[in-house]
Amino acid sequence: MELKRIVLNIQQQLPDTLKNIGKEEYDTEIRLHPLLKWHWAAVSTARAAYKPYKVPEGLIKDLMTPRVHYFTEPEKYTPSDLVYGRIQRNEAVIFPNLWSWTKMAICRITEAESIFLKDIKIEQLHDAFIGSQEFFRIYDENKESGEKIYPSVNMNFLRPSASSVLQPHFQLLITPIPNPLLGMSLHFSEEYYSENHSNFYLDYIKCEKENDERWIGETGVDENKFSWMTAWCPIAGSDEVIFISHNYSSFPLSDDAWQSIAEGLHKIFVGYHETGIRSINMILVSDVWDTYSENFRVFGLIWSRPLRNLDVSDRGFAEIGFKIALTYRSPEKCASELKKHW
């Protein structure tokens, strides 16, 4: 598998007032996605050292101070579903999203309201995943005849990521059609399989493991194994990690597979914290519930959200209008820092 890029040389003349913070010549890259033919990302590491905004000292304290307390007492402050009520597994509690735009539920991960990602325990993540899968299973058992469901597990953490509630939680989605990213992934992975007679995701794992520059590690064994690496061509943002199942193309996953994900997530969260990352988004997508495809694999993405988002957003015309990812920190640098925890 060939990972393609276009290198652009930038040259400019700087006044004396900018020479201590800018560069008169540097290279920037356009990286092409190896599967999604419509997608490319700009990797512009020359700007990595440029720090135009100073994060206020009290910002972290403010971010970690709850503004609302809905998830502390679920029976008092959250809705109850007409079919499943609420699902509980130790500290994890699943209940309907108050304002759903598709079939949605919230999965509270911890009883602790103010907690850093690094301090969420593996068993807490595992309990949350098992409870989340029970929500999907119950919906599947009660769905309309012939209805297809596409389940996903998603996460926003802290206000820069669009989370209005501080307490760590997953957002569980069920849609009747695949979301756009999943739809394109299903389409192009089928096309890849037809052209190459092999699975793109397994080929990509092999390619990145051999390259090693972005390789982080693996969790689980045999059919429950997941591979973790930083993305050659980010889809969503900076510090993007992709994790891929070796075996599953859809939920439900085995308890051991969810354990593999929980262990990997914990390592990523610890590594992120050490590099100063506090706020993240995450998605974990599946093909149609309880199906198997030779050409697709369950995969997830995690990426960072900068704290300066509260003053200046990291989402501009390129990210929103063009649908490209723009990162100033190289995936290779990110991988070298996260690999320490494997």
pLDDT of 47 reads: 84
For 284-306, write each residue's pLDDT tens digit: 999 999 999 999 999 999 999 98
What is the chain's Cα-based Rg? 21
pLDDT at 56: 75
**What is the reported pLDDT for 307?**
83
Q: How far apart, in whole angstroms, are the C-alpha atoms of residue 317 and residue 254?
A: 41
Cβ-based neighbours of 134, under 8 Å, separated by 6 or more: 84, 87, 89, 94
Which pLDDT does position 312 carry in this prediction? 74
List the structure tokens of 332: 């290779």
pLDDT in tens, 148-207: 999 999 999 999 999 999 999 999 999 999 999 999 999 999 999 999 999 999 999 999
Determine the pLDDT at residue 314.
84
Extract the tokens encoding 56: 């206020």
pLDDT given at position 53: 63
pLDDT at residue 61, rounded to an integer: 87
Task: Write down the pTM of the prediction.
Answer: 0.95
Cβ atoms of 79 and 96 within 8 Å: the answer is yes
Measured distance CA(59)–CA(309) in Å, rounded = 11
- Check whether domain 59-341 has CATH 3.30.428.10, yes or no: yes
Per-residue pLDDT tens digits of the chain, which is 342 residues long: 999 999 999 999 999 999 888 999 999 999 999 999 989 999 999 987 776 666 777 888 898 999 999 999 999 999 999 999 999 999 999 999 999 999 999 999 999 999 999 999 999 999 999 999 999 999 999 999 999 999 999 999 999 999 999 999 999 999 999 999 999 999 999 999 999 999 999 999 999 999 999 999 999 999 999 999 999 999 999 999 999 999 999 999 999 999 999 999 999 999 999 998 999 999 999 999 999 999 999 999 999 998 877 767 888 898 999 999 999 999 999 999 999 998
Two tokens at 75? 């029976």
Distance CA 11, CA 25 (A): 4
Find the distance separating the first CA and the last CA of the chain, reported in whole Å.
25
Q: Please report, for the chain, the start and end positions of each structural domain, with discontinuous segments joined by +.
A: 59-341
> Which residue, among 285, 278, 219, has the nearest Cα to 250 in the 3D structure?
285
Contact 293, 150 (CB under 8 A): no
**Cα angle: 172, vertex 322, 5; to 5 degrees:** 100
